[in-house]
Chains A and B, each alone.
Chain A
Amino acid sequence: MSSVLIIAEHAAGTLNPATAKCVACASDLGAESIDVVVLADNASTVANAAAELAGVTKVLTVERAENASPLAAVLAPQIAEIASGYDYVFGPSTTFGKDITPRVAALLGVNQLSDIMAVVDARTFKRPIYAGNAITTVSVKPGYKVVGTVRAASYKAVGSQSAAPVETVGTSVELPDHTTFVDVKTGASDRPDLQTAAKVVSGGRALGSEDAFSIVFGLADKLGAAVGASRAAVDAGYVPNELQVGQTGKIIAPELYMAFGISGAIQHLTGIKDAGTIVAINRDEDAPIFEIADIGLVGDLFTVIPELEALLD
């Protein structure tokens, strides 16, 4: 029977929701056990949260001072050592998982399946290539460990269960000292998180300036939505990089996605293909975004948004 190891992602003592999506993907494998490994300086709250994810068999914690920051070069050798006894190793397809998981795979001497979007059977998977313009079915030969990242937008988080056991494990690998964490700057806000929000309101180049972009934030607050942006809006400095949606930004699957002044470039659409309802507002009736929008309105966003807010009051 087979066993799965999932690399937990966490920050500031909170388990990232992408971990619950990795468990969902792993649950489709028909494996005998699904373990989650938490590497941290202090793992207890995160480990307890992971233990309550439905389907988890047990949680392993590796507590070391060096694990305080998510440095791939430091974490990967520890994960690779623990992973030797497993048939599958999954990480989330977030920047954390994309950084670490290939390093683990290389230490284990195998390639990685990036962005798993479906499990066909225990050794067959679907994953997107060419910015999601082709979906491949990949089969992995028997005898190889399967290391992969899970495309979070393809999965719903698993529910909860009564807590699975948590075990502390030690690792004997020597850790490198060639990489040092300096800092992380986040535009922390009280708004819903872009990656998990049920509603997202996005703005594009059409907003024209950082100041003007506040109209998008205003509507988002009214709807209780997260804010997203096109690459053009981020490049122009209207909003910070963590708001970018698309092939090289975040791949999201909200119930409602509203795009204001976004043309609908293929790289942007890659990020919203799994959204429930896409609403597009664009001045140009020929904008490509209308080809995939569920509800489209040709109009000037600077008049549409105030009218919309008035009608929602």
Chain B
Amino acid sequence: MEKIIVGLKRVVDYNVRIRVKSDGSGVETDGVKMSINPFDEIALEEALRIKERGEANEVIVVSIGSSDSQQQLRTGLAMGADRAVLIETNSDLDPLNAARAMLAVVEKEGADIVMLGKQAIDNDNNQTGQMLAALWGRPQATFASEVSIDGDKATVTREVDAGLETIQIALPGVITVDLRLNEPRYVKLPDIMKAKKKPLDTISVDSLGVSADDAFEITHFAPPEQRNKGIMVSDVGELVNAMKDKGLV
């Protein structure tokens, strides 16, 4: 197998407490720590392991976003990706158009596997991989917790509501990853230095003939309804009484 493409989205770090702006116009992102979407780090780790087993030759990381996304691509290169492509745009591209932009690169590169996160933790869409697979006319194996490659086939175990489902797909295809697939490696300082020399190409989203969809408009952002702190009881007897009062036991 030749190439694996991995999608890395730049998102607000998962440890940041998200606050909605008081005027309801959006979410506070000024000065907030940004990171690689955690699922995408797992996707990259898996791609690197496949390459390290000698089952692929090249791992390319792709991000769609503003020039700031170069930071995440550099981190991806430091983890071990061979090169990076930034598809530059100043809008937060919707999943359908992110899939279209990704497809343009996938076809140009001739990727065998596209490895994405199951969802980006900003918009929680969980769509891009499935859409890419549909537009590409290729298989999808979503929510992967185990991946094995055998020539031009991949066997993927998926975390589904019922338990663990295993499917086999003919490559090329799209795999989206779940959290238990692996634990991403830490980046070491020398790798960061080395990554600076690896190629990072930038192409504009316009050159791919892709632009943001305007079918959806977010008219308002609100904080979620808060659950109020209830009562503290001091022993199990009180706990049982409190539950009985509510008719729960």
B140, B161, B222, B239 interface centre (most CB from chain A within 10 Å): B161
Q: Decide yes or no: A135 and B224 within 8 Å by CB, A111-B215, A295-B243 being known contacts.
A: yes
Quick check: which of B50-58, B73-81, B184-192, B229-237 contacts chain A, the rest being far away? Answer: B229-237
A242 touches B121 (CB 8 A): no
B224 touches A134 (CB 8 A): yes
A241 touches B236 (CB 8 A): no
- Which residues of B lie under 8 Å from residue A292 when comparing CB positions? 227, 229
B180 touches A235 (CB 8 A): yes
A138 touches B165 (CB 8 A): no
Tell me if B240 is interfacial: C-beta within 8 Å of chain A. Answer: yes
CB B26 to nearest CB in A, in angstroms, measures: 9
B139 touches A179 (CB 8 A): yes
Name which residue of chain B comes closest to A11, CB basis: B162
A297 touches B167 (CB 8 A): no
Tell me if B133 is interfacial: C-beta within 8 Å of chain A. Answer: yes
Tell me if A162 is interfacial: C-beta within 8 Å of chain B. Answer: no
B218 touches A138 (CB 8 A): yes
A136, A186, A273 interface centre (most CB from chain B within 10 Å): A136
Tell me if B126 is interfacial: C-beta within 8 Å of chain A. Answer: yes
Q: Decide yes or no: A296 and B230 within 8 Å by CB, A105-B96, A113-B216, A128-B124 being known contacts.
A: yes
Quick check: which of B59-67, B168-176, B194-202 contacts chain A, the rest being far away? Answer: B168-176
CB A288 to nearest CB in B, in angstroms, measures: 11
- Which residues of A lie under 8 Å from residue B242 when comparing CB positions? 295
- Which residues of B lie under 8 Å from residue A85 when comparing CB positions? none
Tell me if B163 is interfacial: C-beta within 8 Å of chain A. Answer: yes
B216 touches A178 (CB 8 A): no
- Which residues of A lie under 8 Å from residue B27 when comparing CB positions? 129-130, 134
Tell me if A197 is interfacial: C-beta within 8 Å of chain B. Answer: no
Tell me if A19 is interfacial: C-beta within 8 Å of chain B. Answer: no
Tell me if A78 is interfacial: C-beta within 8 Å of chain B. Answer: no
CB B175 to nearest CB in A, in angstroms, measures: 12
B221 touches A135 (CB 8 A): yes
Give Cα distance in the complex from A154 to B128, angstroms: 24
A184 touches B231 (CB 8 A): no
| Selected contact of B179 from candidates A106, A138, A231, CB within 8 Å | A231
Interface membership of chain A positions 175-186, coded 1 if the CB is closer than 8 angstroms to chain B and 0 otherwise: 010111111111
A183 touches B165 (CB 8 A): yes
A296 touches B140 (CB 8 A): no
- Chain A binding surface, main DSSP class: mixed
| Selected contact of A105 from candidates B118, B127, B159, B221, CB within 8 Å | B127
Give Cα distance in the complex from A181 to B158, angstroms: 11
Name which residue of chain A comes closest to B246, CB basis: A277
Interface membership of chain B positions 92-127, coded 1 if the CB is closer than 8 angstroms to chain A and 0 otherwise: 001110010000000000000000001001111111
B127 touches A111 (CB 8 A): yes
Tell me if A311 is interfacial: C-beta within 8 Å of chain B. Answer: yes
Tell me if B166 is interfacial: C-beta within 8 Å of chain A. Answer: yes
B164 touches A184 (CB 8 A): yes
A256 touches B248 (CB 8 A): yes
Name which residue of chain B comes closest to A272, CB basis: B227
B231 touches A178 (CB 8 A): no
Give Cα distance in the complex from A95 to B143, angstroms: 8
Tell me if A32 is interfacial: C-beta within 8 Å of chain B. Answer: no
A134 touches B126 (CB 8 A): no
Q: Decide yes or no: A103 and B180 within 8 Å by CB, A98-B126, A113-B216, A304-B236 being known contacts.
A: no
| Selected contact of B131 from candidates A106, A130, A133, A242, CB within 8 Å | A106
- Which residues of B lie under 8 Å from residue A128 when comparing CB positions? 124, 224
Q: Decide yes or no: A234 and B180 within 8 Å by CB, A113-B216, A255-B248, A308-B239 being known contacts.
A: yes
Name which residue of chain B comes closest to A184, CB basis: B165
Tell me if A312 is interfacial: C-beta within 8 Å of chain B. Answer: yes
Tell me if B135 is interfacial: C-beta within 8 Å of chain A. Answer: yes
Complex A-B, nearest 3 residue pairs according to Cβ-Cβ distance, in ascending order: A294-B230, A106-B131, A186-B163
Q: List 21 A-B contacts (CB under 8 A).
A: A72-B133, A96-B160, A102-B130, A106-B130, A111-B127, A112-B95, A124-B219, A133-B224, A144-B215, A176-B139, A179-B168, A182-B166, A242-B162, A248-B118, A267-B14, A273-B227, A277-B246, A290-B229, A295-B230, A304-B239, A307-B236
